[in-house]
Amino acid sequence: MDRSELNKAIDEFCIMDDTFMSAVFDGDKETVALLLNIILNRSDMEVIEVTA
pLDDT in tens, 11-44: 887 766 777 778 878 889 998 999 899 989 999 9
CB 26 within 8 A of CB 18: no
pTM > 0.85:
no
Tell me what pLDDT residue 37 has: 93
Which among 49, 26, 44, 24 has a CA at the least distance from the CA of 34? 44
Alpha-carbon span 47 to 14, nearest angstrom: 23
The closest of 21, 26, 16 to 47, measured between CA atoms, is 26
